[in-house]
Amino acid sequence: MFQQVGPLDESYFLYVEETEWCIRIRRAGYRLAWAPQSHVIHKEGGSSGANRLQCPAYVEYLVLRNRLLLLRRHYPASLPLAAIRYIMVALKRVWKGQARRIPLVWQALLDGLCGKAGKPNLESLARYN
């Protein structure tokens, strides 16, 4: 399977890379499975939090950008609907009192649509925290 599908795509740089990998695995004809009794322990680092409204700006940027990168690669017909969804994300930032993150949402949208992948400048994203 690894020889046929290849490894995780590092261009995503955190978030969504395992989803993209699973899409490639399924398209290669393999079945996916999970082990419900398994546990994952993050020896270093760990989860960045389930609530993106309170997470570091780079986490929100990467999740938003990488979702679009995945759609761009595997489901390009869905990009117009996804772009409309990002308007809703921006409105939610206003509603939650985080209007300062709206430019971050637009940057993630633009970068995702243009295919800009890889590690972003994390310091420049910190201004949205």
In angstroms, what CA-CA distances link 110 with 30, 66, 99, 115, 128? 33, 11, 18, 9, 16
What is the reported pLDDT for 50? 46
Checking if the pLDDT of 108 tops 70, the result is yes
What digits encode the pLDDT tens for the residues 50-91?
454 567 889 999 999 999 999 999 999 999 999 999 999 999
Q: Across the chain, what does the average pLDDT equal?
A: 89
Q: Give residue limits of the domains in the chain.
A: 54-129
Checking if the pLDDT of 35 tops 90, the result is yes
What is the reported pLDDT for 40? 81
pTM of the model: 0.84
Percent of the chain with pLDDT over 90: 74
